[in-house]
Structure formats: structure tokens, C-alpha cells
Amino acid sequence: MLKKILLLLPILVGYTLSNADTLLDSVQSQTVNVSSQENSATGVKANLVRKSAPTSYTVKKSDTVMKLAQMYLTKSGYWAKFLGVKSLADTHLYPGNNLRILSVGGNKILLADRKSSSNGIDKLEPTVRYVSLEELPPISTKALKSLFLHPTLMPEKDFESLPMIVGGAVTGQLYFTSGDRVYLKGYLGQAGDKVAIFSKMRKITDPDTQENLGYEVRYDGDGIIDQTGPVTSMDISYASNQVADLDRVAALPDQEIPDIVPHKSEQIITGKIVELYDAITSTAENNTVVINRGARDGVDIGQVFEITDTHKFVDPTSPPDEPKYLLAPPETIGEILIYKVYDKLSFGLITDSSRPIRFNAVVQSQQ
């Protein structure tokens, strides 16, 4: 998104305009320093910074927050702390920012500035100017738009009350796609309306308590209403999946994408992966999963969860006809970035995985 922001050059990511007095006070010395009083709360322990992390790096337009977090840190949930900020709202980065790792009070902190002089000293120009910059997204913009359209959680009664596809212009046609005309029952809108098409996928149940966590519905495409009446005609303008009878339509979601800043939880939250989106037995990086923890459990958007593998395997010393199993030590095999939170469950994107992620895998918020 484009933002009109007021810049004092250079800027510590952790120092926003609300800290302008602190920055202006340092003009006399012409250098930006991190106050020693903040050392104890600034940065991360050195063992959380990857050995391969670059000492200097210029942010590119193709970068994302998660890409940078995983490039620098072994646990991306510490990203905000690595930037030395007190508020997640102060973690914005922009293409052209130069990133450097500094040691502060025994910790490591990531400093972002707009330019550096040849002798390595960052000059604070006592001038103010307005510039328009495109903020770095948490993950790819294309992925963000896709994620917030699908998948979606909806109460079953709400889904069943939506207008229903009851057939197509071609008699006997079972499935429909882009360019096809279909008919709806129960549509109360107007001709020319743009709508989204959804299908009910499954009921999500907690594997431990058997509690009904909700119904997942899948976004299948878009349509444009042609004629309205007892039976309404609609032309499918886009189809990401096959459209069929009994699918439902709803007003095209006008959902603002919230800020997604990777961060750790203030409390330990443990749960399980209860659904794999568009997968059957296992999934991997850049795919969506559902965990059985939500807002009521303390989950919020941007939290990072670790995926743990604790699989069983056959003890080779046991008799073949009476095999015994051993439990492998727990091992972190991936990370999940939470991007959509409901009361009882949350949707997350697998941003890192070293092996296939399976149904019922244990997850825990990063600490």
C-alpha cells in the first residue's frame, strides 16, 4: 500500500515519529544512538540470529517480511524484538532500507536506515521531507489476496441461507466453469451485481475434545448477475475450482487485509493441525493449515507457531509378529504464520518446512 509518511533520515525502525523528540535531540551529535537504558529490552539473544545472516542488506521490492525474518532469525516470531520496537505497528520496512546488525547490551538488533556515509556513520540530516513509499508486505501480495478470499469459516446455518446454484443453461451439465451461465434460487439482489461463489467443504472437529469448531467453505470463483427473478441467471466470470449445483453465492468480500507482523506469543499456546487445505495426507511450505486454537485461546493475527514432529516408529529389536513402537524425540520441522483468526480455530500459512507436514501435527506458539 502507498503511504504518505514523514521521514527524518535515517530512521531506526524502532523509532517512529512519536519518538521525534529523541531523534531531534540527537541532531546535535549528528549520529543516531540506541539509549543504553533500553539495552535490556532491545534486540534478541545472539543464538537466535542465523550464522548466515548478512551483516548488511538492502531491502528489495521482491522481499517480504517473512523472507527477511527467516533470513536473519532461527525463530521468526522474534522479528519485532529484533527490530527493537515496543509496538508491532512500528515494524514497517520499505524497499531501499539498508539493514545492519548491531550489538546492543549483549543482544543483537537490526538497524534500518536510508543511507550510510563512507565512514559507516549514519548522518541525521536536520531536514524534513515527504516521500511516498510502498511498504514491504508480510508475504507476497498475490498470496495475501488469495488467502483472504479462501478458505473461509462460516456457520452452517449462514451458508445454507445463501442463494443457491440450481442448474445451468446446458441441460444435464454437472460442473461449470468460466464463461458458463448458471441459474440461482433465492437471490434478492440486482442485475449487474458481482458475487463470489462458495462451496461447503467440511465440518471441522477438534480431534481431542470432538467439539465442533465450525464449517469450512471454499471460494470457487466469481460471477455477475444477469437477470433477477424467482430464478436468477448468472454468468461465471472466473472459476478457481469446479462450480456445481448446490454451491452458494454471496456479495464479493470487501475485506481489508490487516497488518500481519510476525511475532511471538506472550503465553504458551499448544494445539494441533486439524485440517490441511487442498491436501489429503500431508502438506508443505506456502500451503494453508487450520489449527484448533483461536481467539478464545489467545491466538492473534501474526503469531508464529512451530510445528513439531513426534512420530512413532517400529522398534527393530521387537518381534516381527508383535512389533513395539518407539516415540521419536520432538523436533521442530516448520513454522506457521497465523493470518486469519476465529473464536475456536485459526488459519495459518506454512512459511517454512523441512519435511512433510501431516494432519494432527502438534503446534506451539514460539517463545
**CA-based nearest residue to 82, from 40, 45, 56, 35:** 45
Cα 118 to Cα 362: distance, rounded to the nearest angstrom: 49
Q: 48 by DSSP, 3-state: which?
A: helix
% pLDDT > 70, the chain: 74
Q: What is the pLDDT of residues 53-86, one digit of tens each?
A: 998 999 888 888 888 888 999 888 888 888 887 6
CATH number of 270-365: 2.40.10
The structural domains of the chain, with segments of one domain joined by +, span 2-136, 145-251, 270-365
Q: Can you tell me the distance from the alpha carbon of 340 to that of 334, in angstroms, rounded to the nearest whole number? A: 19
- Which tens digit of pLDDT belongs to each residue from 77-88? 888 888 887 666
Query: Exposed/middle/buried for 28, CB within 10 Å: 0-12, 13-18, 19+?
Result: exposed
Mind listing the pLDDT tens digit for each residue in 283-320?
Answer: 767 788 899 999 999 999 999 999 998 888 999 999 98
pLDDT of residue 35: 39
More confident residue, 208 or 132: 208
